Amino acid sequence: MNETSTLKPGHIQGETGIWEMVIGLEIHAQISSKSKLFSGASASFGSEANRNVSLVDAAMPGMLPVINEFCVEQAVKTGLALNAKINNVSVFDRKNYFYADLPQGYQISQFTKPIVGEGEVIVDLDDSEHTTIGIERLHLEQDAGKSLHDQHPTKSYIDLNRTGVALMEIVSKPDIRSPQEAGSYVKKIRSILRYIGACDGNMEEGSLRADCNVSVRKSGEEFGTRCEIKNLNSIRFIIQAIQSEAERQVDILETGGTIDQETRLFDPSTGETRSMRSKEDAHDYRYFPDPDLLPLEFTESWVQGIKEKLPELPDSLKKRLVKDFGITSYDASILVEEKDYVDFYQQAANGRDGKLTANWMITELFGALKKDNLSFSESPISSKNFGELVSLITNGTISGKIAKDVFAEMMKSKKSPSEIVKEKGLEQVSDDSEILKLIDQVISNNQDKVAEYLGGKDKLFGFFVGQIMKLSQGKANPGIVNKLLKEKLK
């Protein structure tokens, strides 16, 4: 075993010793709102360029922003779900910079007084361990438009459909210590956002993106200089980018160099980060309170009202699944990852063997969906049919082995498992006389082996069971076969 493989995740073995990563994430989550943060234009994805643009989005002279209350509510909901402080007074600021896809010449964001303050999330790690990551703040802001540079040899085209779409920026504290932890953190945030319906979490469509701040240090030392990797849109890229950026920093530091604070981009084709702009080139955003908007103010009772309507969140659900269904904490954490999973599970496992249901769901169902490249919502098996399959196993109608065949058929035909069992005559044979017939047949066909067994070759017992099962086409109840065979061969 080489030395690096014993390193903890997030540690890098250098010439001078072990380096530790310090990571903080800024997640940009698009709010699931039909219209934009400050205009009535549609916020839908995939429309023809410049279709969803209002006069406000195009920053026509004299146009004014009006806050979308639904978005404010989603931000408060998210803050509550992150166990965070809700700021009953918050302020919108203008972040000023020039870019062709930023029509106003400023982004409306929240700088000194965000809508949500400090909070925390519990992040599950692979080995059924968990850690707590602090949330620094959450604020509301507008998305920018899109510049298309590849449509014309000398011109750039601008698509303003995204301009003004509502984003929540969720800023973590620098509490993350490994790329894997960062990945789990993003997964957890995404899961919470989907539970409460504040964001669809769709990373391919850009509904969820992350900027990663990465630095390295020797254990116990002060934080090092950080670099920010912009706009990562998959968990895999987040993990790769952090690892490669941390390694780059260690290489520089170990050869006597220093880290320049800068903004970097991740190139998925090389798996490496490259410089985008240095600190010296950083914009002076000239933040100041947007005079077109009043401060956001809400009462305690309004916040309380939102709190009361919050659905059960993953952490509490997980505890409940372990308690109510007797499953392992690890299985529970997989099931609560998505609201769809846990709803399905609870329907299927209701009044049944919770452990067996969880095992079948995690190994068989998830495996089969992955193999067929289907999303969970596209599953051909309903929770009702899935639960029925579990019942057929536990009440002895079919064996676990047969159940796998029935399951495969369910994936194809969408039929209920009882129908399949009935049609194909797959019911387990548990009748003693039926099984005794099979036993007698196998004994009479293998007189020599019976003699050997009785002579002390105990191992042959398994052979007889196998023969009986084969003869029954797998339908014989293995428990009863065992019991009767033992009696017979006494």
Partner 1 sequence: MSELLDLNLVEATKALKNKKISSLELTNAYLKSISDTSSLGAYLEIVEDKAIRMAKESDKKLIDGTARPLEGIPIGIKDMFCTKDIKTTASSKILENFIPTYESTVTQNLWNDGAVILGKLSCDEFAMGSSNETAAKGNVINPWLKNKKMSPGGSSGGSAAAVAARSALAATGTDTGGSIRQPAAFCGITGLKPTYGRCSRWGIVAFSSSLDQAGPLTRTVSDAALMLNSMAGYDQKDSTSANLKMPDLMDYLDKGIKGKKIGIPKEYTQDGISEDIVKFYDKSIDSLRVEGAEIIPVSLPHTKYALPAYYIIAPAEASSNLARYDGVRYGARQEASSLDEMYELTRGNGFGDEVKRRIMIGTYVLSSGYYDAYYLKAQKVRRLIKEDFENVFKKVDYIITPSTPTTSFELGKKQDPLTMYLNDIFTVPASLAGLPGISLPVGLDKSGLPIGIQLIANSFDEPGLISTARVLEMSAGYNFIADGAAK
What are the residues binding partner 1 (CB under 8 A)?
Answer: 55, 58-67, 94, 96, 98-100, 103-106, 156, 158, 284, 286-288, 291-294
CB of 144 to partner 1, least distance (A): 13
E strand map for 354-477: none
Can you list the alpha helix ranges (DSSP code H) found in 26-178? 69-81
Nearer to partner 1, 223 or 288 (CB): 288
Where are the alpha helices (H) located in 43-138, listed in sequence order? 69-81
CA–CA separation, 349 and 357 (whole Å): 6
- Minimum CB separation of residue 160 from partner 1 in Å reads 8
Between 55 and 303, CB nearer to partner 1: 55
What is the smallest separation between the CB atom of 209 and partner 1, expressed in angstroms? 24
Q: Nearer to partner 1 by C-beta: 283 or 457?
A: 283
How far from 458 is each of 128, 167, 440, 454, 455, CA to CA, in Å? 41, 69, 19, 8, 9
Angle between helices 417-424 and 400-413 (to 10 degrees): 110
If the CB atoms of residues 57 and 73 are measured against partner 1, the closer one turns out to be 57
Tell me the Cα Rg of the chain: 30
Q: Are 97 and 283 in contact (CB under 8 A)?
A: yes
The CB density around residue 403, as the number of other CB atoms within 10 Å, is: 23
As measured in angstroms, the least distance from the Cβ of 67 to partner 1 is: 7
The nearer residue to partner 1, 69 or 312, going by C-beta atoms, is 69
Q: List the beta strands (DSSP E) in 93-218.
A: 93-96, 106-109, 119-124, 130-142, 146-148, 157-159, 166-172, 208-218
- Output the smallest distance, CB 147 to partner 1, in A: 9
- DSSP three-state, residue 363: helix
Q: Which is nearer to partner 1, 106 or 360 (CB)?
A: 106
Contact 92, 58 (CB under 8 A): no
| Tokens 């601008």 found at | 158
Shortest distance (Å) from residue 148 CB to partner 1: 13
- Element at 275 (helix H, strand E): strand 272-278
Residues 130 and 330: their CA atoms lie apart, in Å, by 10
Q: For partner 1, give the closer residue by CB, 156 or 394.
A: 156
H or E element in which residue 17 lies: strand 17-30
Smallest distance from the beta carbon of 85 to partner 1, in angstroms?
25
- Taking residue 371's Cβ as centre, other Cβ atoms within 10 Å add up to 9
In the complex, least distance from residue 177 CB atom to partner 1, rounded to whole angstroms: 31
- Least distance from partner 1 to the Cβ atom of residue 276, Å: 16
Instruction: Give 92 or 360: the residue with its C-beta nearer to partner 1.
Output: 92
200, 32 contact by CB (below 8 A): yes
Looking at the Cβ atoms of 54 and 273, the one nearer to partner 1 is: 54
Choice between 298 and 464, CB closer to partner 1:
298
Torsion region of 16: left, alpha or beta (phi above 0 gives left; psi -120 to 50 gives alpha): alpha
Compute the least distance from the CB of residue 41 to partner 1, in Å.
Answer: 14
φ, ψ dihedrals at 27, nearest 5°? -95, 130
CA–CA gap between residue 198 and residue 490 (Å, rounded)? 67
